[in-house]
Structure 1
Amino acid sequence: MTKREFCAELREKLSGLTQTQIDEWVSFYGEIIDDRVEEGVSEEEAISAMGTVDEIVMLILREVPLSKLVKEKIKPKRRLRAWEIVLLALGSPIWLSLLIAAFAVAVALYASVCSIIVSLWAVFGSLVGCAVGGVAAGVFCFCFGFIPSGLVFIAGALVCAGLSIFMFFGCREATKGILWLTKKTVLGIKKCFVGRKERA
């Protein structure tokens, strides 16, 4: 792939961004290619070292706020005709309610997943609290001569402490998972806003 082909494909796949942003990113990567060529590397090798165009687009999307993509997407490219405005007004009770319902479902699903994470951390906190409380109760029993009861409390505290260690690692991985899922979801939404040419 030559620099011209690379820049053309990158420009096409960034079509959801503003023209200024597209020009800046294409110019940025074009300069990188030029710098590598000046170092004695061929255009094909320089482009290959940067990765595929799709990979570069994903890197760019991580830097672009979702709000800017949405704003650019919903901004009309031309003035709406009278019949289009009428259709939008008449259909608004349907498409607006569907849009709100879809948004509510998405938020509810995400909130449910987050509530599971919070619940897991709450269980971890409870186990830690039981471990600390068990040790305190065991020491108290030992001080007043209730040896059997003290042993039971200490044993229970050790069990809770052991479970809390496993629970901590589980909670940590679950939290990492939800953060990864959130990033992938946002990135996927961003991807829907770019790479598609608008019809005139």
Structure 2
Amino acid sequence: MTDVKGRRSYRSPVRDEARRRTQQAVVAAAARLFVERGYAAASLREVAEAAGVARPTVAAAFGSKPALLRQVLDEALAGDDEPVPVAQRPWFAPVWQAARPRDVLDAYAEVCVVIGRRAGRLFEVTRRAAGGHPEIEALWLTLVANRRAGAEMVVRRAREVGELRAGLTLDRAIDSVWVLNDPTLYLALAVDRGWSDAEYTEWLAAQMAAAVLG
């Protein structure tokens, strides 16, 4: 690599890996503190202390507290820090591989469980912090929009391999799946009420099928 003056710059794989490990430690500490204490109550100083780094290190790596929350959410949804969209993850592949509409919804129910288990509490943290904080409110609205985009992908895939319920418009089908893919449902039933993941997956798939396929 060369800089703007034409001089060669040097990147050390060792330093890059150390930087990545530091960022992972900060993200893990932030995720835990945000869930335990809430977004507003968990300061960057406390996150830095929990991660074993200096506060300026956190600021240098993420820029701001809202940006850190965004990274925490991204990694919780994806499962790691690799820049690979959720829809291209191996655990999403069964949705694309399904050959019947009900199989599409069964596979998506399992995806919803994965996301609920990893990110459900962080969704709730973000929702509660959104009021009165423009950056967090914008982040929350993005999460909501992304959930609907995911529902649209799934409904369109189901329609590619079969038929939706007679008389059901595409928008209504997408809205129905969008409401049901809310991680809050996973928190209510699997976490608060103690349902097993298998029980929740079966219930969710049945609800989506009833709404979309009839």
Question: Whose Rg is larger?
Answer: 1
Higher helix share: 1
Asked if these proteins are the same fold (TM beyond 0.5), I'd say no
Question: Could you tell me the TM-score, scaled by structure 2's length?
Answer: 0.20
Tell me which of the two structures has the higher relative contact order, counting C-alpha pairs closer than 8 angstroms and 6 or more residues apart.
Answer: 1
